[in-house]
Chain A
């Protein structure tokens, strides 16, 4: 057998290469999918903010470190243990967090002094203002006997600087003073575990726990993205479950994490990966089987004389089958490890280039099983290919009598029927008709269409050549005459056209799909990211965000609140200068022009600071049975809901009323957001003479003992809405039968003018996520930068006027102008602003590429390209083999006086026409498949709501492929024709035809 393989070494090599392809294609899918899954997990973890990729377990009663260590997994980093005690300074000015965390000295930069190492030592931030050597005392951190408790003196031994974005701190807003927030809490006082051990209450001290004077132990656990693989996903979900249970099963234990969200995103992406990659691999395996069938048929045909000998010698049928298939079987068995190795190599290269560099690419049992399945299919293909040779009577073979006309139309009709039935099934099943692009089943459509077009092309070519018979009798010389006749009768033409057209069809589809998808990836990434680079910064207030943006040129302050509908509030002029915008989204208008209409004149805010408020009222007679209360609503810093006070309970005899302002108004500025009256009636109410209305004539606030008039615009009709103001003051109805009983300063319009695709009729969430105001699109646009769902862009100042505070859902961002990402990152760092996350257009594109559909398409491009090259090679070989069998005829023609030139032309024409026809049919099949199936082929794991995807084909790559195919075909034709003609010798005529 080995000698036979060596004797037919070139053909055997071709079979080996062809056999390796389906095995490689089959094993590539699971290997690459495994790597892609790992990449999805690692990318998700790497891109997540700390609380989305880890857990922070806290407990005042138990050792959180011990609790965290109960949940062990190889991919978890060791817990970062720590403890914390929140207490006001002894002077009561600020709250400080006295804390320690394992390894803290490695995560701070010491500006002065040293890291604390003993009990009672602390280090402080520069912003805290404490100096080395100073002593700090906290009112909740005491020592001594219960009756003589006194604050523990904490000695400052060092001054630190930290990177608040360091995951070591778990993304907590621990450093408000460094961030520039001077009110409320101070930066942490970092101490040692010994401090807790020496001065703190013993662990589990229930009294301390109950009184809030116990240290809260903590443990931060992170997933090590470098060690986690796709095999660990279930274990990771189990870890999440166990840690979540910790919080539920242990009293006073809390687990802070958003890991569930991250895991859901991972699961969504991973689930979207399997079906498309399997479908892609399946098509390529089937194409590989077709190639294998044809090539093995050649190999078995080359052994036909030996098989005939075996029959002549009386070998039994099983032995003849074994004899006939021994070589293909040996080659296929050799192809298994080679194919799996090739699949692994390609997967490794692809994973390194397309996914990430640190991925482990492993051949698992699935990959081997897929390879074995491909080999088994190859054996069946080999058996099918060998059947004719093995079953053909020996005498027929020797006599070379043509058998009855082969009914080749039967299998073709079967394939076409399956194709049509498959397409109908897909249409009926919704895969093709569903234009949302999320039906992976549509991925089989290109393969089906490619085969159908290939079969039609195979039938049309001989017919077209037959139609040229008459023409070539009279003109074109003997070259064209011979060529068209050979093509019209040649069986090699049929298989060549089918294989090449189907292979190229799939490859052209793959190129078309990838070019269109890449364009959509970029477009969607541009819109969803909004700017080239977006930095997520810690939440604060918009004044601080604006101040930050003002200090860094080329930036825009943005606050995004998820919807639906989502809201993006920004400084419009800056937004227009940094946002990624295509004029076609807005009817050809630049963004700067569109956002101009989003600012409108509004009344000034009514602000005040103080501890008391006084209202001057004009009160009409109030009949018996009416209980009237005038309420004032305030926006207070640090709150997200209105703070209301019962400003007055009006009675006719009294004009001045006074009430305490909300606590938050004493030192900070509050905003009066409305005045309203509530009227209650009792059983003895006199409904015949209802009260009229009260008039608020002026408001005063007391601050630091002095009363000052509040500029509320009570006499200006335009400053309040509904328009109850004017003349002598703000008039509110106290009648139970109607009238304006509440009014608010007209500091913002409702609906807010917005840049949006159109109004949904829903209210925007607002900065406080309270859905207080609607929105109206000034000019409908096709896409809004920064929004990946229905929503609107509004002016940041107007959004702030609507809100009472900031929802935890609000994400504060700094957008960077194109090309300025690195520079702005540096500037943010210099300003001491931690960057919680960085999002770039490139990252988003890479993310889409790493999702299931993107990976499947990339797999399709690589594999289909290889398969198409193989198909071209196989086609050239088939033509060569077919023409070689005719060298006897050519020798006879030459001997009869035919000149070589027409023969060369005939061969060249025959091969060039066949290859070009097959190539063009393949290109046509690919283009038809792309036009029909692309809108139905999934491109994203989750279909983007905006912008609308563009499915028009990108012509350049398709033209490039078509030209390359034609050039390769013509070159192959020229080379094979020349090689064949050089082999034509008169001596052949002395031999029997081969």
Chain B
């Protein structure tokens, strides 16, 4: 299948494969990823641990180059960019919030300095005023406090503020609410939605995914399902592969055989009795 081409696509993955090489073995983290994210969409990346969500997020952040396939960010193919150009793209168009809020921050620098640090790589006119940004995330009163001394919720909000410091076109966040209580988590998600940027969030939190306009579920390095408007769909892969959602594994256990019965608008899978 070929990804839908759209001039408004912020992200476009075309058969993206990502392989990690360790000392002795190679691990295929993502395979045949086809994905298009339009301007203004908010996408929740779902899936079990080790499925490849974070890897996809890092690819979208331009921190990795696909081992195979093609990846466009903001209409620019990542594979054609040099390191410096990729750095500039990331600095100007992409904001990233890492999983642990503390990892996003320089602990001994103040909240305002953390924002300023993220703005070093872009032109002055592209920067948001740090004070305004901190006010907006509700941290105006602690702008001069060292980041290491803030609470978990404050750190997470500061991490979002840092990610938004350069008016990014694409906001990427990895488990932005994992270490927060429900209220703080909700506030962070609202904040992300409010800024209006295209956003991709990795999450295990059903409340976060429900707040997104779209969900993409990754299993075993493939996109297994997508959800839109509260309805989940399986995604037919490049070779016609379909990942059955786990709730149907009881009916069609992995390894069992099934008959494919064609219909006018699709197919039916029936378990073949042995």
Of A3, A309, A314, A317, the contact of B90 (CB 8 Å cutoff): A314
Tell me the residues in window 947-994 of chain A with beta carbons closer than 8 Å to chain B beta carbons. Answer: 992
A405 at the interface (CB under 8 A from B): yes
- B84 to A, closest residue via Cβ: A316
- B110 to A, closest residue via Cβ: A3
A404 at the interface (CB under 8 A from B): yes
Decide yes or no: A315 and B106 within 8 Å by CB, A395-B64, A404-B23, A405-B23 being known contacts: no
For B76-104 the 0/1 string (1 means CB < 8 A from A) is: 00000001100111111010101010011
A603 at the interface (CB under 8 A from B): no
For A436-459 the 0/1 string (1 means CB < 8 A from B) is: 000000000000000000000000
Separation of A581 and B271 alpha carbons in the complex (Å): 111
Bin the interface of chain A by size: 20 to 34
Separation of A311 and B107 alpha carbons in the complex (Å): 17
Decide yes or no: A313 and B58 within 8 Å by CB, A3-B108, A402-B22 being known contacts: no
* Nearest Cβ on chain A to B31's Cβ, whole angstroms: 18
B22 touches A395 (CB 8 A): no
A4 touches B84 (CB 8 A): no
- A405 to B, closest residue via Cβ: B23
For B106-118 the 0/1 string (1 means CB < 8 A from A) is: 1111000000011
- B109 to A, closest residue via Cβ: A3
* Nearest Cβ on chain B to A186's Cβ, whole angstroms: 91
Separation of A405 and B84 alpha carbons in the complex (Å): 28
Bin the interface of chain B by size: 20 to 34
Q: List the B side residues contacting A402 at CB < 8 Å.
A: 22-23
Decide yes or no: A394 and B108 within 8 Å by CB, A313-B91, A315-B91, A401-B20 being known contacts: no
A319 at the interface (CB under 8 A from B): yes
Of A3, A313, A319, the contact of B118 (CB 8 Å cutoff): A313
B120 at the interface (CB under 8 A from A): yes
Of A7, A311, A314, A399, the contact of B88 (CB 8 Å cutoff): A314
A313 touches B120 (CB 8 A): yes
A711 at the interface (CB under 8 A from B): no
B90 touches A312 (CB 8 A): yes
A305 at the interface (CB under 8 A from B): yes
Q: List the A side residues contacting B258 at CB < 8 Å.
A: none
A313 touches B121 (CB 8 A): yes
Q: List the B side residues contacting A309 at CB < 8 Å.
A: 103-106, 117
A183 at the interface (CB under 8 A from B): no
Q: List the A side residues contacting B28 at CB < 8 Å.
A: none
Separation of A316 and B91 alpha carbons in the complex (Å): 10
- A308 to B, closest residue via Cβ: B103
B63 at the interface (CB under 8 A from A): yes
B92 touches A314 (CB 8 A): yes
Separation of A992 and B121 alpha carbons in the complex (Å): 30
Q: List the A side residues contacting B63 at CB < 8 Å.
A: 312, 393-395
* Nearest Cβ on chain B to A993's Cβ, whole angstroms: 12
B103 touches A305 (CB 8 A): yes
- B105 to A, closest residue via Cβ: A309
For A398-440 the 0/1 string (1 means CB < 8 A from B) is: 1101101100000000000000000000000000000000000
Separation of A53 and B88 alpha carbons in the complex (Å): 75
* Nearest Cβ on chain A to B99's Cβ, whole angstroms: 9
* Nearest Cβ on chain B to A391's Cβ, whole angstroms: 11
Tell me the residues in window 1-21 of chain A with beta carbons closer than 8 Å to chain B beta carbons. Answer: 3-4, 6-7
Of B21, B58, B107, the contact of A395 (CB 8 Å cutoff): B58
Separation of A7 and B100 alpha carbons in the complex (Å): 20
Tell me the residues in window 170-223 of chain A with beta carbons closer than 8 Å to chain B beta carbons. Answer: none
Decide yes or no: A6 and B84 within 8 Å by CB, A315-B121, A405-B23 being known contacts: no
B108 touches A6 (CB 8 A): yes
A306 at the interface (CB under 8 A from B): yes
Tell me the residues in window 351-410 of chain A with beta carbons closer than 8 Å to chain B beta carbons. Answer: 393-395, 398-399, 401-402, 404-405
- B146 to A, closest residue via Cβ: A3
Decide yes or no: A315 and B23 within 8 Å by CB, A3-B108, A395-B64 being known contacts: no
Of B20, B23, B121, the contact of A319 (CB 8 Å cutoff): B121
* Nearest Cβ on chain B to A393's Cβ, whole angstroms: 7
Tell me the residues in window 667-718 of chain A with beta carbons closer than 8 Å to chain B beta carbons. Answer: none
Q: List the A side residues contacting B104 at CB < 8 Å.
A: 309
* Nearest Cβ on chain B to A513's Cβ, whole angstroms: 45
Separation of A395 and B67 alpha carbons in the complex (Å): 14
- A303 to B, closest residue via Cβ: B106
Of A312, A317, A393, A395, the contact of B84 (CB 8 Å cutoff): A317
Decide yes or no: A992 and B100 within 8 Å by CB, A315-B121, A402-B23 being known contacts: yes
- A312 to B, closest residue via Cβ: B96
Q: List the B side residues contacting A313 at CB < 8 Å.
A: 90-91, 117-118, 120-121, 162
Q: List the B side residues contacting A4 at CB < 8 Å.
A: 106, 108
Separation of A309 and B159 alpha carbons in the complex (Å): 11
Separation of A401 and B117 alpha carbons in the complex (Å): 27
Separation of A310 and B107 alpha carbons in the complex (Å): 14
Q: List the B side residues contacting A315 at CB < 8 Å.
A: 87, 91, 120-121
Q: List the B side residues contacting A405 at CB < 8 Å.
A: 23
A314 touches B91 (CB 8 A): yes
For B140-173 the 0/1 string (1 means CB < 8 A from A) is: 0000001000000000000000100000000000
For A298-333 the 0/1 string (1 means CB < 8 A from B) is: 000000011001111111110100000000000000
A401 touches B106 (CB 8 A): no
Q: List the B side residues contacting A399 at CB < 8 Å.
A: 20
- B118 to A, closest residue via Cβ: A313
Separation of A311 and B108 alpha carbons in the complex (Å): 18
Separation of A745 and B182 alpha carbons in the complex (Å): 127
Q: List the A side residues contacting B87 at CB < 8 Å.
A: 311, 314-317
* Nearest Cβ on chain A to B85's Cβ, whole angstroms: 10
Tell me the residues in window 43-74 of chain B with beta carbons closer than 8 Å to chain A beta carbons. Answer: 58, 61, 63-64
* Nearest Cβ on chain B to A991's Cβ, whole angstroms: 9
Q: List the A side residues contacting B120 at CB < 8 Å.
A: 313, 315, 319
Q: List the A side residues contacting B109 at CB < 8 Å.
A: 3
Q: List the B side residues contacting A316 at CB < 8 Å.
A: 84, 87, 121
Question: What 9 additional pairs, Cβ within 8 angstroms, besides A314-B90, A319-B121?
Answer: A4-B106, A7-B108, A309-B103, A312-B90, A313-B120, A314-B87, A314-B88, A314-B121, A317-B84
Closest 3 interchain pairs by CB?
A314-B91, A3-B108, A314-B90
Interface residues of A (CB under 8 A from B): 3-4, 6-7, 305-306, 309-317, 319, 393-395, 398-399, 401-402, 404-405, 992
Interface residues of B (CB under 8 A from A): 20-23, 58, 61, 63-64, 83-84, 87-92, 94, 96, 98, 100, 103-109, 117-118, 120-122, 146, 162
